[in-house]
Structure 1
Amino acid sequence: MYNYIQHYINGQWVDSTGNETIDVINPATEEKIGEISSGTKEDLDKAVQAARDAFPAFSQTTKEERADLLDRIADEYEKRKDQFIEVIMAELGSPVTFTTNVQYQMGLNHFRTAAKLVRDFDFTENRENSFIQKDAIGVAGLITPWNFPTNQASTKLASAFAAGSTVVLKPSTETPFAAVLLKEVFEAAGVPKGVFNLVNGTGSTIGNGISSHPDIDFVSFTGSGGVGTKIMENAAQDIKKVSLELGGKSPIVVLDDADVDYAAKTAISHIAGNTGQVCTAGTRALVPESMHDDFIQAIKNHISEYPVGDPKDESTFTGPQVSEDQWKTVQDYIQKGIDSNATLVTGGTGKPEGLETGYYSKLTVFTNVKPEDTIAQEEIFGPVLSVITYNDLDEAIEIANGTIYGLAGYVVGNDPEALTKTAKSLRSGRIVVNNEQADFTAPFGGFDQSGIGREWGDYGIEEFLEPKTIVGLP
């Protein structure tokens, strides 16, 4: 059992001023694995004050000192690899192979990348008769989701530390224990007291409290569009800067010269990986009308290569949804797809055979989906793929850009001219061609209702800085 009914404030665990706790459930077994404190406004105030008190000294450290700190953090993170894997499997239900290769590794990559980049980062600039200085923004409130417990927290924390900002972190109540492990990493690495503070609790109390707190200078949030809107409303009361990484309904544009098997497996991997609980998942496969039948047959041929099952089994590709509520949401969307008269290729409602315990969904693929259908427009956050046909590339690009989102896009094919045209025409913050590996130095974020601001690399560091122009220095 993981029990953390305190908060980490100013370098130590402190009792909550409230008595309520929140149960944490293993989604693969439906069993309680621990509990956390449901924090109060008073708890948050203490954490913010600790961060405020620590800010003057930390913000004046040199970039070399902060780079060394980030390297020590990465070293300590690596020492706890097995612990991170165990915790993420338990609280998220993420399969062991995916947890090892993606969940754990992405968190480490952000600290390593920030350490490297900050050493060469220009915090000052001379321009004609102006001297520009980039100052740490102040106290940052970080609100992170459950689907990537180390990645989403680490990218924000690494950028904040690189910039010289102090932080208050509120992790998701579904997956809070990875953040506790991060606390142990920071403590061992020598993060000064008050620079990192951890307050658990509900979004209504701690999340709203962070976004409306007068002594928090910047809010970095990853999560749903509805919550992002509320954060902007709260932050507007004192003109607080916000960065929002929200939802997505990303297209996979399959060109007419693509290898059909490769394209089909690419599409399946997007809904099967992390159980489709990925904001950048390609959940709309846009396929040439002439390729449709072969593509659907390839989906049927390869779907069994992505088994749903026990996260502890190394052969498992897809685990459970994170919670019963999320499972019900996914089931509702699958039913909406059926009700819209889309053709069910595989999957459907209910749990996979033999997986009655746990919040497991079937890998589900619909075809004959219209671009305006609910399942093609709204983020499902589950293992559901919509296959949509097109007649020419211009139509494909129009369909791809035809949602309120713009977080990611994918292109599969061979012709350089068509690949280039498509990639440059998609209105999304990140476009991946033929499954190229992620660049952790490049910016991550979205267009339209997928958010504002950027994370990762030097763009992520910039979010935690305020440029100051000084004119007329002698």
Structure 2
Amino acid sequence: MQAWREESAVNADRFHIAGRWVEPLGTERIAVYNPADLTVLGHAVMANEADADRAVAAARTAFAKWQGSSREERIALIRRMRAAFEQLAPELERHLVREIGITTMVAQGQTRMTLSHFDGMLEVLPGYAFSQAIGDGVELVREPIGVVAAITSWNAPVSQMLCKAVPAIAAGCAVVIKPSEQAPLCAMLLAEAMARADIPPGLLNILNGRGHDCGRRLAEHPDVDMVSFTGSVAGGGAMAAAAAPTIKRVHQELGGKSPNILLPDADFAEAVPKGVLICMMAAGQACAAPTRMIVPEDRFEHVAALAVAAAQKLAVGPPDQPGIAFGPLANEAQFRRVNAILEKAIADGQPLLAGGPGRPSHLATGYYIAPTIFGPVSPDAGIARDEIFGPVLCILTYRDMDEAIRIANATEYGLSAYIESADPAAARRIAGALRAGYVNINYPPWSAAAPFGGFKRSGNGKQYGVWGFEEFLETKAIVG
């Protein structure tokens, strides 16, 4: 089987549909830039609606066979996919560094997370009860939902593609993946890895394209049974609107504006620098980043000094160099957007403590922004309520815990939250009052078994573990 890189080391000129590398029907060809130095990495062809139709047709044909596959067949396939991915993971990491500007450490973290998606399904599948008796003469059956369109984001492209595709295939579904057009080369490299896994033709199709045509067509397509979308609130709304006439399931993992509440008994010398670092990782381009540090009013000056000192220690520069904390923003549109938000915040009178708009002076080119801190920020300010998706921390203050909780909940988002306290019982009581789907207490290790998903406009449905697996199942009751 000829892979896309055998034609060119950098160009993504083909799609992987029905188990073959096929020539696109779409003709738009875009340049892909390295955000660190603005050199051209290569080019990618964008799919049109006819390409989307072709991929859906392949998936529909594959689903007709795969829905009846045995548990053992699914486990064997997931194992082959995992092995193929692990073999190509180092190359994928190098591409992630060049294409979206994350450091090697973050890229390695993303591939490790991706491996956990395979491992999670290999834990779920062996003992999962697809059929069970729940009462006198009542049988509950869980069946695959059908053809799934997976539309993914650019900030963790490989992990996002497979955190949807792996549980969907494990559930008995067929998948069409449309990654973000901002990370098209990584997507085709992943397609090459999956092509080595002997996947039944049409079960996993990957094509590059834009959201407004290819993505919209997938969402509205009558032969697509479910859309799983990761991206912005606006993008999620557009996909849901396109899907609405066909009454299909729409799973959404959208934006975040995560609060980080430091209780008075927290170890501020440890908690503040850690909060700054986690906020700034991957240049702040993480939906679950703790971007609002909410601290006691009488401790603000202490917190501000600790936060600024921590930010000043973070080296910003080319992500492939040692000692770099974070690299550039992933693309020009994001660079322009974040700079505009910072300029408006300053114009609105929000106190700037560190960083600010514009490229750091020691960097001649690239989409870099210095670690930026504002505080004390008004809870009503735009930067305290809206997702920025850049290396920007807002420090807000509270007088009592009721006010801290009100501030934490005062956004349209509810993806994740963080609490720092020496009293786990007190932290858990506060966690119960937060409108967020994933609450971290004292920065625990990431758990692949914990369901991840948001409240409010951060989306609906869950990813990871058995909860992510069940998103791709329908429930049937057989009575009598």
Q: What band does the TM-score fall into relative to the shorter chain? A: over 0.9
Q: Which runs of 4+ in 1 moved over 4 A?
A: none
Structure 1 position 184 matched with structure 2 position 184: no
Question: What is the CA deviation profile of residues 42-76 of structure 1, one whole-angstrom value per residue up to 9, with x for unaligned ones?
Answer: 11111111000010211111122212211221122
Which residue does the alignment assign to 2:53? 45
Distance 1:418 1:370 in 2: 26
Separation of aligned partners in 2, 1:372 and 1:413: 26
1:356 and 2:342 correspond = no
> Counterpart of 1:80 in 2: which secondary structure?
helix
Could you give the per-residue CA deviations for residues 306-332 of structure 1, whole angstroms, max 9, x where no partner exists? 211111112111110011110011111
SS of the equivalent of 1:418 reads: helix
Q: 1:174 aligns with which of 175, 182, 198?
A: 182
CA distance in 2, matches of 1:81, 1:461: 23
Kindly provide the CA deviation profile for residues 205-248 of structure 1, in whole angstroms up to 9, marking residues without a partner as x: 11101110111000000001111111111111010110011111
Which residues in structure 2 correspond to 1:176-215 (within 5 Å)? Answer: 176-215=184-223
Match of 1:105 in 2: 112
SS at structure 2 position matched to 1:282:
coil
The equivalent residue for 2:131 is 124
* Equivalent residue in structure 1 for 2:88, among 80, 86, 91: 80
Aligned to 1:326: 334
Pairing of 1:220-231 with structure 2 (within 5 A) = 220-231=228-239
User: After the TM superposition, which of the residue ranges 328-337 and 371-380 deviates more from structure 2?
Assistant: 328-337
State the alpha-carbon separation in 2 of the partners of residues 464 and 416 from structure 1.
Answer: 35
Q: Does residue 404 of the first structure (1) align with residue 404 of the second (2)?
A: no
- In 2, distance between residues paired with 1:164 and 1:37? 30
1:157-212 superposed Cα distances (whole Å, 9 cap, x missing partner): 11111101001000011112222222222221211110011121111111101110
**2-structure distance, mates of 1:356, 1:109:** 38
- Maintained 8 Å contact 1:66/1:115: no
Name the CA distance, whole Å, in 1 between partners of 2:185 and 2:30. 12
Alignment-mate amino acid for residue 180 of structure 1: M
238, 243, 258: which one pairs with 2:251? 243
Q: Please, which of 173, 176, 187 is the counterpart of residue 165 of structure 1?
A: 173
Structure 2, gaps ≥5 residues long: 1-8
The answer (yes or no) to whether the contact 1:21–1:38 under 8 Å persists in 2 is yes
> For 1:232 and 1:80, how far apart are their aligned partners in 2?
34
Whether the 8 Å contact between 2:12 and 2:184 is mirrored in structure 1 is no
Cα drift, residue 301 of structure 1: 2.1
Write the distance in 2 (CA, Å) between the matches of 1:469 and 1:455: 25
Q: Structure 1 residue 144 and structure 2 residue 152: aligned?
A: yes
Query: 2:5 corresponds to which residue?
Result: none
Contact 1:400 1:426 in 2 (8 A): yes
Distance 1:73 1:187 in 2: 9
Corresponding residue of 2:477:
469
Match of 2:11 in 1: 3
Report the alpha carbon displacement of residue 422 of structure 1 after superposing the two structures with TM: 1.3
AA of the residue aligned to 2:123: K
**Range that drifts further, 333-342 or 139-148:** 333-342
Question: 1:271: how far off?
Answer: 2.6
Indicate whether 1:312 and 2:350 are aligned.
no
The number of equivalent residue pairs is 471
Match of 2:42 in 1: 34
CA distance in 1, matches of 2:324, 2:82: 28
Please list the CA deviations of residues 327-385 of structure 1 after superposition, one character each: whole Å capped at 9, or x if unmatched.
Answer: 01111111122122121111011111221211001110000200010000000000011
Q: Secondary structure at the match of 1:207?
A: helix
CA contact (8 A) 1:97 1:314 kept: no
Any stretches of 5+ residues in structure 1 without a counterpart?
Answer: none
1:416 is aligned to 424
Aligned equivalent of 2:350, options 332, 342, 346: 342
Aligned pair partner of 1:252 in 260, 266, 280: 260
Moved more, 299-308 or 316-325: 299-308
Q: Distance in 1 between matches of 2:425 and 2:352?
A: 34
Q: Distance in 2 between matches of 1:142 and 1:416?
A: 38
| Structure 2 contact 308–373 (Cα < 8 Å) conserved | no
Aligned equivalents of 1:269, 1:154: Cα separation in 2? 27
* SS of equivalent residue, structure 1 residue 435: coil
Deviation at 1:449, TM superposition (A): 0.5
Identical-residue share of aligned pairs (%): 38
In 2, Cα distance between equivalents of 1:112 and 1:374: 40
Paired amino acid for 1:255: L
- AA in 2 matched with 1:294: H
What residue number does 2:392 align with?
384
AA matched with 1:397: I
Structure 1 position 99, deviation (Å): 1.2
The more displaced of 180-189 and 432-441 is 180-189
After TM superposition, the structure 1 stretch with the greater mean CA deviation from structure 2, 350-359 or 402-411, is 350-359
Q: What letter corresponds to residue 114 of structure 1 in structure 2?
A: M
Q: Is the 8 A contact 1:52 1:215 kept in 2?
A: yes
TM-score by length of 1: 0.97
Q: Separation in 2 of the partners of 1:343 and 1:125?
A: 59
Measure how far apart 1:109 and its partner are.
1.1
Native 8 Å contact 2:14 2:21 kept in 1: yes
Counterpart CA distance in 1 for 2:465 and 2:195 is: 24
- 1: CA distance, partners of 2:193 / 2:22: 18
Counterpart of 2:302 (choices 294, 298, 301) is 294
For residues 393 and 64 of structure 1, the distance between their equivalents in structure 2, rounded to whole angstroms, comes to 52
Q: Is contact 1:286-1:388 (8 Å) kept? A: yes
Q: CA deviation at 1:459?
A: 0.7
Aligned-residue CA RMSD (Å):
1.1
CA contact (8 A) 1:249 1:379 kept: yes
Partner of 2:72: 64
Q: Secondary structure at the match of 2:157?
A: coil
Separation of aligned partners in 2, 1:464 and 1:338 = 45
Q: Which residue of 1 aligns with 2:374?
A: 366
Counterpart contact for 2:32–2:40, Cα < 8 Å: yes
